[in-house]
Amino acid sequence: MANGSGEVVRNRQVIFRDYVSGSPEETDMEVRESALELRVPEGSNGVLVRNLYLSCDPYMRIRMRKLDVPSYRESFQPGSPIIGYGVARVLESGHPNFKKGDLIWGITGWEEYSLITEPETCFKIEHIDVPLSYYTGLLGMPGMTAYVGFFKVCSPKKGETVFISAASGAVGQLVGQFAKLVGCYVVGSAGSKEKVDLLKNKFGFDDAFNYKEELDLDATLKRYFPEGIDIYFENVGGKMLDAVLLNMKLRGRIAACGMISQYNLEQPEGICNLMNLILKQVRMEGFVVSDYYHLYLKFLETVLPQIKEGKIVYVEDIAKGLENGPAALVGLFSGHNVGKQVIMVSRE
Amino acid sequence: MANGSGEVVRNRQVIFRDYVSGSPEETDMEVRESALELRVPEGSNGVLVRNLYLSCDPYMRIRMRKLDVPSYRESFQPGSPIIGYGVARVLESGHPNFKKGDLIWGITGWEEYSLITEPETCFKIEHIDVPLSYYTGLLGMPGMTAYVGFFKVCSPKKGETVFISAASGAVGQLVGQFAKLVGCYVVGSAGSKEKVDLLKNKFGFDDAFNYKEELDLDATLKRYFPEGIDIYFENVGGKMLDAVLLNMKLRGRIAACGMISQYNLEQPEGICNLMNLILKQVRMEGFVVSDYYHLYLKFLETVLPQIKEGKIVYVEDIAKGLENGPAALVGLFSGHNVGKQVIMVSRE
């Protein structure tokens, strides 16, 4: 329950300065310190937490824009901390679902301490025999995104061909592993030799290529998929999507998860090959993970044993220290990260 | 059964001259006459028919291209007659499902007489208390397209908002009427005042507009759909699709039926707003009616009574004479037709 008064601490925060156009830069954020009384305000059902890990996710770029139409996310508030997914320890709770000492994951602030005012959107972490940072990735939003995007949106069948763009990222690396577990033929694209090696040697993709070295993506895809693509897990948009549309098989499915190549453009690239949706009777479906969180426990039951048996692995790129958050976030859009980008705020 | 020999007749044909780039012209086809023996060849299970009505459909433009990838339709054969849907009378049958005198609809040639070599793809016409030409439209491929595209792909619910482009065409006029029967709010776009009047006054659309008079389609759609669009029945592609994407509601559905605005372009226009599929969790699905013909009898059972009760009406634009076929087909792409474009070959 909420206390009358609490210790006052210095709270370092990563502040969002103003709406961004073009490529985000570190200077679009600034690290500030403010004072915070460590208590849940009278009458609040929030929880006060110490943030341990923060998640850098491509969708956050969308929130840096001034969004003029209501969509699935609101803009960040200039002058306030960046907000996003994180793992945190409850210091004090005004909410019956949580108590002091609990570990949770969910939407929190880019700061050392946060008052989470809608804790009912957070999940309590029950399994701590895996790295806690996994709850920003494999066992958090990106993991669920891979799971529902692949199984619910793509309806995969054994033997089908699967292509994944941004395949070594937080979501892609898992989609590929899920697809292999189903018995699909899986190819991924990424932006460096190191990432391509990871895809082939660590994540067990059947094949992978560095899209930056390919001059004609249509020809590239025809080389890897001479019979065409049944399932495309779309993370990048732009030219890759246009090339994929030329290579979809009859009744193929495209799970539209993200379009990271387009987020920094004021005017997105035009996609010319949509007629192929009709010619090949393809379904292209946008989805967001928040529609599926009721499946989270089922997801955990499926994935936790696979992690423990080594059937699913996960690569993280952990930046240490809140002050390195802006660089880590900005780096996502040039592919600087190798694997899931996480910020470690505190080891406790 | 096939006879030994038959009468020899003069058979006028509309010949496809060569692959077309850009806008098709009448001169891409020519009317010729050849001699035909009115018999089914020995050993063939084809049916010999006299063609009564032929159908002009936008998808036929795709078959005028040299298609380098296998898709749902093959190219027309230069030097051979145009082929497409039609209504015909069986003169002689080598197939157990059909007998002399039967009326059928299905794929036939643009000529007075055709030997249909795959008659199992044709439907026998059992109900003749409606205009026979309806089997090229309302009761044929376009009608089924409207039915399955709307009910199976769009999953409409009462009270939803529906937008239809090329709304007075063979398919659009029916989609709108189906949507009104479900209890949706329905707006259509078309390319002339006459067509807009038809939509509002004959087909019962809630509203309609002439897209040629709108400078900013996004603003236009916001005017007609201030709360957004639940269902878009896509017949045109291009700029209209891009504007629609900006106006879809959460979990909207787009049935991609055709993109007539793009068929004459060597390089289709780029679509920039696909990110809205993700932001609004929209499903966009290409479909072809041939996947759904097993539902044809159910469709007839639904629609025939509605026609007889005057709940569904249909507007046709009938060109008289095979020699007027090329102009009728070419006219589709400039919106010359008002309603379903049919060619009457013979009254019998």
pLDDT at B80: 96
Asked if A274 reaches chain B (Cβ–Cβ under 8 Å), the answer is: yes
Min Cα distance B5 → chain A (Å) is: 42
ipTM over 0.85: yes
Token pair of A301 as six digits: 């039951």
Q: What is the mean pLDDT of residues B311-322?
A: 97
Count residue pairs from A and B with Cβ separation < 8 A: 107
Would you kindly state where each structural domain of chain B is located, as residue ranges?
A: 8-137+315-344, 141-290
Tens-digit pLDDT profile for residues B105-120: 999 999 999 999 999 9
How high is the pLDDT of residue B183? 98
Same fold, A8-137+315-344 and A141-290: no
| Per-residue model confidence (pLDDT) at position A105 | 97
- pLDDT of the residue at B1: 43
- What tens digit of pLDDT does each residue of A170-223 get? 999 999 999 999 999 999 999 999 999 999 999 999 999 999 999 999 999 999
Calculate mean pLDDT across residues B52-72.
85
Decide if B267 touches A, using CB distance below 8 A.
Answer: yes
Q: What rounded mean pLDDT belongs to chain A?
A: 94
pLDDT value at A154 more than 80 = yes
Asked if B265 reaches chain A (Cβ–Cβ under 8 Å), the answer is no
pLDDT digits (tens, 9 = 90+) for A89-146: 999 999 999 999 999 999 999 999 999 999 999 999 999 999 999 999 999 999 999 9
Q: In chain B, what residues touch A72 (CB-CB under 8 Å)? A: 250, 279-281
> pLDDT tens digits, residue range B214-256?
999 999 999 999 999 999 999 999 999 999 999 999 999 999 9
Q: What is the mean pLDDT of residues B66-76?
A: 74
A266 Cβ under 8 Å from any chain B Cβ: no
Inform me whether the pLDDT recorded for B145 exceeds 90. yes
A268 to B273: CB separation less than 8 angstroms, yes or no: yes
Angle in degrees, 0-180, between the axes of helices A238-245 and A217-224, rounded to the nearest 10: 50
A272: chain B residues, CB-CB within 8 Å: 267-271
Nearest by CB: A280 against B71, B241, B268: B71
Is the predicted pLDDT of residue A1 greater than 50, yes or no?
Answer: no
DSSP string, A283-348: EEEE--GGGGGGGHHHHHHHHHHHHHTTSS---EEEEESGGGHHHHHHHGGGT--SSEEEEE----
CB contact under 8 A, B285 and A288: no
The pLDDT score that the predictor gives to residue B255 is 98
- Nearest chain B alpha carbon to A275: B259
Please answer yes or no on whether A275 and B259 come within 8 Å at the CB atom: yes
- Mean local confidence (pLDDT), B66-83: 82
* Residue B74 confidence (pLDDT): 85
pLDDT of residue B193: 97
The CATH-assigned architecture of domain A8-137+315-344 is Alpha-Beta Complex (3.90)
Question: Which B residues in the span 57-96 are in contact with A, Cβ-Cβ below 8 Å?
Answer: 62, 69, 71-72
Q: Which residue of A has its CA nearest to B263?
A: A275
Burial of B122: CB neighbours in 10 Å, binned 0-12, 13-18, 19+: buried
Half-sphere exposure of A191 (CA within 13 A, CB side): 16
Q: What average pLDDT does the segment A265-286 reach?
A: 95
Rounded to a whole number of angstroms, the distance from the CA of B283 to the nearest CA of chain A is: 4
Query: Is residue B257 less than 8 Å (CB to CB) from chain A?
Result: yes
The per-residue pLDDT of chain B, averaged, comes to 94
Chain A environment of B288 (Cβ under 8 Å)? 278, 281
pLDDT at A239 over 80: yes
Residue of A nearest to B268 (CA): A272
Tokens of A67: 């969004």
| Tokens representing residue B346 in the block | 């013979």
The kind and range of the H/E element at A208 are strand A207-210
Q: Could you give the CA distance from residue A328 to residue A245 in angstroms, rounded to a whole number?
A: 32
pLDDT at residue A327, as a whole number: 97
Q: Give pLDDT tens digits for A283-316.
A: 999 999 999 999 999 999 999 999 999 999 999 9
The predicted-structure confidence for A6-40, as pLDDT tens digits, reads as follows 789 999 999 999 999 999 999 999 999 999 999 99
Q: Return contacts of B25-31, CB within 8 angstroms, 24+ apart.
A: B25/B330, B26/B326, B26/B327, B26/B330, B28/B64, B28/B326, B28/B330, B29/B82, B29/B325, B29/B326, B29/B329, B30/B326, B31/B322, B31/B323, B31/B325, B31/B326
How far B179 CA sits from the closest chain A CA (Å)? Answer: 22
pLDDT at residue A72 is higher than 80: no
pLDDT at B66: 87
The pLDDT, as a whole number, for residue B71 is 56
Q: How far is CA A321 from CA A14, A51, A110, B70, B252, in A?
A: 11, 11, 11, 54, 42
Report the CATH architecture of B141-290: 3-Layer(aba) Sandwich (3.40)
- Is B268's CB within 8 Å of A275's CB? yes
Q: How confident is the model at residue B70 (pLDDT cuts 50, 70, 90)?
A: low
User: Does A269 contact B268 at a Cβ distance shorter than 8 Å?
Assistant: no
Measure Cα distances from A242 to A206, A236, A280, B235 in Å: 23, 11, 14, 20
Contact B55, B127 (CB under 8 A): no
Query: Do B276 and A286 count as a contact with CB atoms less than 8 A apart?
Result: yes
B-chain residue closest to A247, CA distance: B69
At residue A2, does pLDDT exceed 90?
no
Q: How far is B36 from chain A (nearest CA, A)?
A: 35
B107 in contact with A, Cβ within 8 Å: no
B274 contacts in A (CB within 8 Å)? 237, 241, 256, 259, 268, 271
Dihedral in degrees, nearest 10, Cα atoms B231, B234, B240, B241: 80
Is the model's pLDDT at A3 over the cut of 70?
no
Residue A245, CB-side half-sphere exposure with 13 Å CA sphere = 23
Q: Is B323 in contact with B19 (CB distance < 8 Å)?
A: no
- Which helix (H) or strand (E) segment holds residue A138: the answer is none
* H/E segment holding residue A277: helix A275-279
Instruction: Express each pLDDT in B159-180 by its tens digit.
Output: 999 999 999 999 999 999 999 9
B273 inside 8 A of chain A by CB: yes
**pLDDT for B72 beyond 90:** no
**Tell me, what's the pLDDT at A6?**
79
